[in-house]
Structure 1
Amino acid sequence: MNRTALVTGANRGIGLETCRQLATAGLDVVLCSREPDRGLAAAAGLAGLRGRVRVEQLDVESAESVLACAGRLAADGVRVDVLVNNAAVYPTTGFFAADEDLLEHTWQVNLVGAFRTCQAFVPGMAERGWGRVVNVSSGGGSLDAGLPGPPLYGITKAALNALTVTLASTVPASVKVNAVCPGWVRTDMGGAGAPLSVAQGADTVVWLAQLPESGPTGGFFRGRKPIPW
C-alpha cells in the first residue's frame, strides 16, 4: 500500500513542489488549499505522476476546516502517513506597528494551524506505528541566530520549532517529527531575487518526509544538515 502525504498550503510555491516531488517518488498526495479552485488548478499540473493526487479544501486557521478535512479522508479510508505543515503567512510589519489582530492571524496560521493538523493526523500515525511530520519553519525562527527578519514571523516560527521538539518527545520513535528551513527560495513569499529554486527549497522537506527508520527526529534542518534552534 502506498504511503499518503498531506501537504498544507500546497497550491503554489514550496508546498506545490513538495507535492510534485512526493508524487514523483510514488507517494499518494493530499494537496490542501484554502481555495478549492486554486487547489484543483495546481493539481492539474501534477497529472501523470506515479502517486495519485487528491485535492482537499483546508484552512488551517479554522479548527472546523481541519476537522472536516480529516473526517472526509477517514470516511474514504485515506490514512495520512506523512504530514507536511507548510501553510504560513509572512507579515513584514514592524514590532511596534503591528497590532494584536495581525499577531493573532500570524499565530493562528503559523503555529496553531500546525497544532491542529498534528492533533488530527498524528495519533493515527502513532497507532499504526509509522509516520513522518515535517514542519516548514525558517531560520527566521532560530533563537541561536537572534530571530532575524520580520518580528511576528520569527516569533511564530520559533514557536513552531518548540512544537516540533515537544511533539517529537511525545510520540513513539517510529513517528519522526522534524522542522526544516528551506532557505531563501524564489516564491511569492521569497521574491524573484532569492537564490534557490522551489525544487531546491522543497528538497529537504521531501527528504524528511521519507526518512528511513534510522533517520533523525526532533531536529531542525537546512540543506539536509542540522542547524541550531
Structure 2
Amino acid sequence: MTSSSTRVALVTGANKGIGRAVARQLGALGMCVYLGARNESRGQAAERELCAEGLDARFVRLDVTDESSVALAAKRIDEEAGRLDVLVNNAGTGGPPTPPSQTSTDQVRRTFETNVFGVVTVTNAVLPLLRRSPSGRIVNVSSLLGSLAYAAERTDPTGLFPPGVFPVVLDYNTSKAALNAVTITYANELRDTGILVNAVSPGFVATDINEHRGILTPEQGARIPVLLATLGDDGPTATFVSEDGTATGLRLAW
C-alpha cells in the first residue's frame, strides 16, 4: 500500500526515453511512480533501475491500445494507492516521414490508435482516481509539429527549423494536433475540479522515434513535463508549453 501523504503518478511509455526520464524525476521528488509499459521485460528492467536509485518505481503492464490492459492497470493502482495525483500520457509513435500523398491510411490509423485514442482510453480509465486527488494533474506529451498555427505559417518559435521550413508528416503531425484538441477538451470539462490538463512539446529529444537524432537528452526533455505535473493549485490549464531553456518554458500557439 502507498502512504496517504505520498503523491502517486502514472507515466505511460515509461520503460525508455522521455517517459523513463519523467518517471525518474518524479520519483526523485518523492512520488510513487507507476511505470506503464507494453513490454514486460523492459518495464521490469526500468523498475529495477529506478528502484536501485532509491526511488519508489512500480512497473505496470499497460498497452494504451488495449482497453483490457489499461483497465487492469487502473485497477491495480486503485487497489495499491487508492488514488492518482499525476497522469503523464507519454506513450507515442509515428511512421517513417513520407509525404502525405504517399502515407497509407493504415499508417495514419496506427499512429492515431496510440497518440490519440490511447490517451483517451488511459485518461478515462484513471480519471476516477484523479478525481480523488486534491490536486490532480494531466500532462499530454505532444509536439510542436501538432501546432496548426505554426504549420500554416511554416514558422518555428523555438528556432529549430528555419523560416519557411516545417516538416510535413501526415500521421504524426495530425495525431499531435488531435491530441492538442483532446487536451483542451478535457481541460474545459475539468476546470472546476482542481485537475489541471496541459500539453507539452519536450523539444527535439534524442529518442527511438527520431533514431536518436535529437539535440536534447531525455533528461532535458523531461523537464517541462515534470514542471506541468507539479504545478501549484494556481497553475494554468489548457496550455501548450515547449522546452526553450527558460525556467517556465515557452507558451506555444495551438
Mapping 1:104-119, distance limit 5 Å: 104-119=109-124
How big is the alpha-carbon RMSD for the aligned residues of Structure 1 and Structure 2?
1.6
Q: Which has the larger radius of gyration?
A: 2
Of residues 123-132 and 6-15 in structure 1, the stretch that sits farther from structure 2 once superposed is 123-132
Select the residue among 205, 212, 228 that pairs with 2:232. Answer: 212
* Equivalent-residue separation in structure 2 for 1:131 and 1:40 (angstroms): 26
Number of equivalences: 229
State whether residues 185 and 191 of structure 1, in contact with CA within 8 Å, keep that contact through their aligned partners in structure 2: no
Mapping 1:59-138, distance limit 5 Å: 59-91=63-95, 92-138=97-143
State whether residues 26 and 50 of structure 1, in contact with CA within 8 Å, keep that contact through their aligned partners in structure 2: no
* Equivalent-residue separation in structure 1 for 2:54 and 2:26 (angstroms): 9
State whether residues 9 and 34 of structure 1, in contact with CA within 8 Å, keep that contact through their aligned partners in structure 2: yes
Cα shift readout 1:110-162 (whole Å, capped 9, x = no counterpart): 00010011101123323444200000000010001117431110001000000
Paired residue secondary structure (1:134): strand
Who is 2:253 aligned against?
A: 228
Cα shift readout 1:63-108 (whole Å, capped 9, x = no counterpart): 1111121122223344221000000002123322222221211111
Identity among equivalent pairs (%):
38
The letter of the residue matching 1:183 is G
State whether residues 60 and 113 of structure 1, in contact with CA within 8 Å, keep that contact through their aligned partners in structure 2: yes
For normalisation by structure 1, the TM-score amounts to: 0.94
Q: Give the 3 Å change call, closer, same or farther, for CA 124–78 of structure 1 in structure 2.
A: closer
State whether residues 2 and 27 of structure 1, in contact with CA within 8 Å, keep that contact through their aligned partners in structure 2: yes
Paired residue secondary structure (1:30): strand
* Equivalent-residue separation in structure 2 for 1:56 and 1:104 (angstroms): 26
Listed as ranges, the gaps of 5+ residues in structure 2 are: 153-165, 244-248
Who is 1:176 aligned against?
A: 196
* Equivalent-residue separation in structure 2 for 1:226 and 1:107 (angstroms): 25
Q: How far 1:35 sits from its partner (Å)?
A: 0.9
State whether residues 25 and 50 of structure 1, in contact with CA within 8 Å, keep that contact through their aligned partners in structure 2: no
The letter of the residue matching 1:113 is G
The letter of the residue matching 1:20 is R
Mapping 1:152-191, distance limit 5 Å: 152-171=171-190, 172-191=192-211
The letter of the residue matching 1:3 is R
* Equivalent-residue separation in structure 2 for 1:193 and 1:127 (angstroms): 40
Who is 2:62 aligned against?
A: 58
Who is 1:47 aligned against?
A: 51
Listed as ranges, the gaps of 5+ residues in structure 1 are: none
Q: How far 1:25 sits from its partner (Å)?
A: 1.0
Cα shift readout 1:9-46 (whole Å, capped 9, x = no counterpart): 11100000001111011111000110111101122221
Q: Give the 3 Å change call, closer, same or farther, for CA 94–65 of structure 1 in structure 2.
A: farther
